[in-house]
Structure 1
């Protein structure tokens, strides 16, 4: 019961207002004075029932809540809506506050004005609320609380949490929630909620605890209907293992097969039809499942449904060879695969075969969903070929008592067989283009056995971090400076890209070559040029970096600078003596790279610096040909102007040329 008292007169109202002000300000000293002078700490406002403890919880002030509880505040005070402080703490997901209130004798069986207990306030799908849920259940909160509107708390949590935080549903199950909990208005059960969300683990857990797979809601829909809506084949398979009826018809004459057809899952359609769902039933709109699938654009599902419709009603009786497709046999097949682990443990330590008597007793002990006579029939079928014993693997696969199309193994993805090569024709494997890497034996290493020179020691700032922490006293400056820090090595080109000058200075002081190459033959100067680090280029040039080194494609730093379009870097390299017409493996010059990448400023500078516009690449294209191919009008104009300004070669007439040659030969 609520232990609060509503203010009766104006004086109490003023006292309560003052108390709430002090709580809001966190003024424990004056709160204590008011309590000592006879102030009732459990007074609540008449308009909303707000009390001091409610306000402290809303402010998330754990220290103040503890203080109020120690001074007589009741954790069972209810506001006008019937909410207690622990309900507010649970609603906000503050597990520490909730546990503090529970430990101070908070009544977890109290309900608000709508009949909702504390677990309703833990129903938000977050990890923090799951902690509150666990705490409340550990202190005997009611896991089967039903509100005045008929909402079961477990059903509500499954409805909210399955999409965002499923573990809350398992917490409720472990806490003693009814596996058949349902909403009294809609009739939707927790199993239906789990099937609707496609949670195989939760469906299995509910069924293992006694959930009814054939329960129906107000629309006569079962868990199989909801699983079929989402096309959740594995959920339907688990429901079948627990004897779920597949042919339930809803109020609108919808079978699970109609919903599976709308979802387009061909496996669901086939499984439902094989397990007893009639593919020839029409809904209220007069539509068959195959028509629904076809109208929805699910061609594969429509094809499967047309096939099962033709076969419906055929082959339902045991054949002369003993193979069956009766519903009880199919249910046993599904059940045995669902409980395979338990069956193997009961059969013993990995036996291949067991006696018929052991087989029957084990299945009866594990409550197989078949009659004893039917078990004898299954054992007898195995006895014919095994000599009084049952092969366990054959039983699980349904080899001796289930027709091939009905076995679960047929739903597994098929392994494609490799096509045999035709005689006389050999497959020619295409060899990928190899990447030229610097061999390990050519990679320069330090004589002391440390990493290769391309890996340099990272500069470490030696600071006394403890000196900035109030919980630690600062260390002595000299002792801190003398401490040895563990060396950390990084790639020198990483330092170039990040402009880590301290680490580079340290490396060069320790003898690292400035032109050290990484596995792709890149030097630091090449990386700086391709990254556009102009200041880094200046720094490396000042350290003596070579401007004519080549990488695996025979690119020089000038190629990289021209390709990236940094004209300042290009100017620095040319000024430092870079060869302006150096060719790569494909006979591409830096000018050609600038043309291909559409960098007019670089093209203009290189032309003015004397780059040869008549040079040809591997495809016998000159600079103008390349410019036309890449179609940048600015670049085309620059190259064309340069070529037009060059002196043209004088053509010698053919006749004169011949006479000249003859005169030379006479001489």
Structure 2
């Protein structure tokens, strides 16, 4: 934009309007100190929503200040407005040509931040100002990853984003696609999954870490519409993960019989075995899902197949104390062994397929013949073959013969869809407790015993049995004649009251184990808040997600660490909890454990790989929090962890300083022994006996002048060493040795008699070694408190 096109604008306004073209996204970081200070001042004024000062600062500040970011986290003025949902301030910044696609150091744009926090109006404002929907952060995640959450505000944001130009096949750098992430939360964002499929998302997307497919994720969530949409668009019903588990295994373990019916309609293999040799029937038996067990047996799952532990499905149900499932499997085994047993596997699969495609088949039947309910057998067979019915010709002919009328060879279509005529009643879908299965309407039949004819309609008071109660009967409570009303209770309240029976009943009725309360907390979070370890183990065994977070992004690990429950923290870490998960304020579980003042919990997190260098939004790190809460043991743990982190970093080797010559030794020792010998006093804290080791060299002493004196001295030495109570060893692996160079200067200059007060200076010729050793053992308690020293040979000879 040239000066000629803006004759009525001053210099500052022209700088504002040209900021978007002057600074590309790669150069928005403040470079000099002046720019950094002005950026921080601008962020402060935006946070206080002071419009006049913001405009004044932008007009008189450095060029392009509105799009500059601070050097620490890469936050710009528009980021602050989006995070705090300041609509008027964001509108002002956008009107002053603020770039909506500026990214911070994590690669997040303003619309990503607003979508993550559920700011609907802010997302709408940024989208109307052409904010890019295809940007990705440093992890490769686009805006779809940020708007997947169970709130209604996020649902509105999802609908708004899907109207724009968004990449539905966005794949993060870890290999997980946005559609895969949405299917894992299908119970919260079912509409988003369907919209992604409509816009071309890959139905066979998988997680490269676990090998789990989108169909398996939807089956684990129990979302039948998402599963149906995936299968209709070419999803593979027999795909398996790295543990060789299929979608049928997942649905059977969760007890979702509707999902099993859908998989049966698409010819899923119910006899596939996992890496442990388990079929879907084993999973249903272990979970106590009796209806799933009956359905799988009727659809061809082998009830007599054993897993790698050599257990039948009935034995698995018995071990898990599932009586209903064990009863169904026992009956299935008896029926399989009977002579008159007739399997209806093909007919049952055809029944499931026709139930799933009923609308399409009825349209095809109606287009061929005008009659709605009756048609010829030949036409019926041709329509089924055109739609690729999952049945062979012989079995199809058997079904036609069973359904068609013997005279006219006509088939009632309604009876075919209900399974009448060719399938026993217990094989029909209407025999299962499934609310969405359609049935026929009819009137209830009244039996004859309901209304009995009374011969004498008028009875006397004396003979009337309804006038007064009998003398031998008690008057019962009237409420006992009525059925008790259904009582509903929150799942979180059941967790607080330790009501395992209600929770088991709820999970058996397909209530999700990760259902959220009004504060978006799952039952596992509530159990961690209460510190109920037994409840935590119960919920984890039922498949609770340990990495779910609430509205403030607190995970179950945050709540357990904040309460200081070390056992629960260990249980969560063993089941895959993220040790460095961060809340909206960048608070890690280690920081919550420090606030709980529980040293064992802090030590466990540090050993599990917690980041001791993390900082929250206030700039406080773990050491600052430990000093603030004043626990010396926690402070020492954090200090040691920081020292280990600093030691792990490579450092440049500094040149060693030249050693100073000690002239005092030469005065006391002859010329041939000027260099001092070091004696190591090694202490083992776990040992009972201690020893003082000397170098394996000849100790300097009196000169040998005669052979007779030398022999006498050697004989005295042998007697003295024979009386020793301890063995002399040159190397003590368990002891800790400190060199004299590590001692403080004040300690090096200290008198040896003051270091060990129980050692008195005596002459070598008058020392009694045995008495000295007894005196040494009596004073070992002083050595155990830290007396680890290095003496020179001259000092050692003086006292020994």
TM-score normalized with structure 2 length? 0.49
Q: Structure 2 CA distance, aligned partners of 1:12 and 1:40? A: 8
1:378 to 1:429, Cα distance in 2 relative to 1, 3 A: farther
| 2:59 aligns with one of 36, 43, 47 | 36
Alpha-carbon shift at residue 116 of structure 1 (Å): 0.4
Of 194-203 and 115-124, deviating more is 194-203
Q: Structure 1 CA distance, aligned partners of 2:41 and 2:206? A: 47
For the residue of structure 2 that corresponds to 1:354, the secondary structure is strand
| 1:257 aligns with one of 274, 281, 290 | 281
The 8 Å contact of residues 3 and 76 in structure 1, kept in 2 or not, is answered as no
Matched, 1:395 2:436: no
Alpha-carbon shift at residue 88 of structure 1 (Å): 0.3
1:294 to 1:419, Cα distance in 2 relative to 1, 3 A: farther
Q: Structure 2 CA distance, aligned partners of 1:432 and 1:264? A: 50
Q: Give 2:43's aligned residue.
A: 20
Q: Give 1:590's aligned residue.
A: none
Of 114-123 and 40-49, deviating more is 40-49
| 2:78 aligns with one of 53, 59, 82 | 53
Q: Structure 1 CA distance, aligned partners of 2:102 and 2:385? A: 55
Q: Give 2:206's aligned residue.
A: 182
Q: Give 2:354's aligned residue.
A: 336
Q: Structure 2 CA distance, aligned partners of 1:382 and 1:52? A: 73
Q: Structure 2 CA distance, aligned partners of 1:53 and 1:432? A: 84
Q: Give 1:270's aligned residue.
A: 294
Matched, 1:236 2:260: yes
Matched, 1:356 2:374: no
Q: Give 1:10's aligned residue.
A: 33
The 8 Å contact of residues 249 and 283 in structure 2, kept in 1 or not, is answered as yes
Q: Structure 2 CA distance, aligned partners of 1:180 and 1:95? A: 31
Q: Structure 2 CA distance, aligned partners of 1:266 and 1:42? A: 62
1:49 to 1:366, Cα distance in 2 relative to 1, 3 A: same
The answer for unaligned runs of 5 or more in structure 2 is 1-23, 456-463, 470-800
1:26 to 1:222, Cα distance in 2 relative to 1, 3 A: same
1:176 to 1:93, Cα distance in 2 relative to 1, 3 A: farther
What CA deviation, in whole Å up to 9, does each residue of 1:568-595 have, x standing for no partner? xxxxxxxxxxxxxxxxxxxxxxxxxxxx
Q: Give 2:792's aligned residue.
A: none
The 8 Å contact of residues 303 and 313 in structure 2, kept in 1 or not, is answered as yes
The 8 Å contact of residues 185 and 221 in structure 2, kept in 1 or not, is answered as no
Matched residues, number: 426
Alpha-carbon shift at residue 101 of structure 1 (Å): 1.3
The 8 Å contact of residues 154 and 181 in structure 1, kept in 2 or not, is answered as yes
Alpha-carbon shift at residue 166 of structure 1 (Å): 4.0
For the residue of structure 2 that corresponds to 1:253, the secondary structure is coil
Q: Structure 2 CA distance, aligned partners of 1:181 and 1:26? A: 45
Q: Structure 2 CA distance, aligned partners of 1:84 and 1:108? A: 10
Q: Structure 2 CA distance, aligned partners of 1:43 and 1:264? A: 60
What CA deviation, in whole Å up to 9, does each residue of 1:463-514 have, x standing for no partner? xxxxxxxxxxxxxxxxxxxxxxxxxxxxxxxxxxxxxxxxxxxxxxxxxxxx
Give the 5 Å matches for 1:624-639: none
For the residue of structure 2 that corresponds to 1:29, the secondary structure is helix
Matched, 1:85 2:110: yes
The 8 Å contact of residues 3 and 74 in structure 1, kept in 2 or not, is answered as no
Q: Structure 1 CA distance, aligned partners of 2:450 and 2:382? A: 55
For the residue of structure 2 that corresponds to 1:105, the secondary structure is coil
The 8 Å contact of residues 2 and 78 in structure 1, kept in 2 or not, is answered as yes
| 1:149 aligns with one of 157, 162, 174 | 174
Alpha-carbon shift at residue 312 of structure 1 (Å): 3.4
1:292 to 1:350, Cα distance in 2 relative to 1, 3 A: farther
Q: Structure 1 CA distance, aligned partners of 2:467 and 2:331? A: 47
The 8 Å contact of residues 186 and 221 in structure 2, kept in 1 or not, is answered as no
For the residue of structure 2 that corresponds to 1:32, the secondary structure is helix
Matched, 1:209 2:230: no
For the residue of structure 2 that corresponds to 1:390, the secondary structure is strand
Alpha-carbon shift at residue 22 of structure 1 (Å): 2.0
1:187 to 1:429, Cα distance in 2 relative to 1, 3 A: farther
1:21 to 1:53, Cα distance in 2 relative to 1, 3 A: same
Q: Structure 1 CA distance, aligned partners of 2:79 and 2:182? A: 25
Q: Give 2:389's aligned residue.
A: 368
Alpha-carbon shift at residue 372 of structure 1 (Å): 6.2
| 1:95 aligns with one of 120, 127, 131 | 120
The 8 Å contact of residues 316 and 326 in structure 1, kept in 2 or not, is answered as no
For the residue of structure 2 that corresponds to 1:297, the secondary structure is coil
Q: Give 1:119's aligned residue.
A: 144
What CA deviation, in whole Å up to 9, does each residue of 1:35-88 have, x standing for no partner? 334343111122211111111111211121121112121111111000011100
The 8 Å contact of residues 325 and 402 in structure 1, kept in 2 or not, is answered as no
Matched, 1:106 2:127: no
1:214 to 1:426, Cα distance in 2 relative to 1, 3 A: farther
Q: Structure 2 CA distance, aligned partners of 1:121 and 1:179? A: 21
1:7 to 1:316, Cα distance in 2 relative to 1, 3 A: farther
Q: Give 2:154's aligned residue.
A: 129
1:314 to 1:74, Cα distance in 2 relative to 1, 3 A: farther
Q: Structure 2 CA distance, aligned partners of 1:346 and 1:259? A: 39
Q: Structure 1 CA distance, aligned partners of 2:297 and 2:256? A: 15
The 8 Å contact of residues 279 and 308 in structure 1, kept in 2 or not, is answered as yes
Alpha-carbon shift at residue 343 of structure 1 (Å): 2.1
1:122 to 1:270, Cα distance in 2 relative to 1, 3 A: same
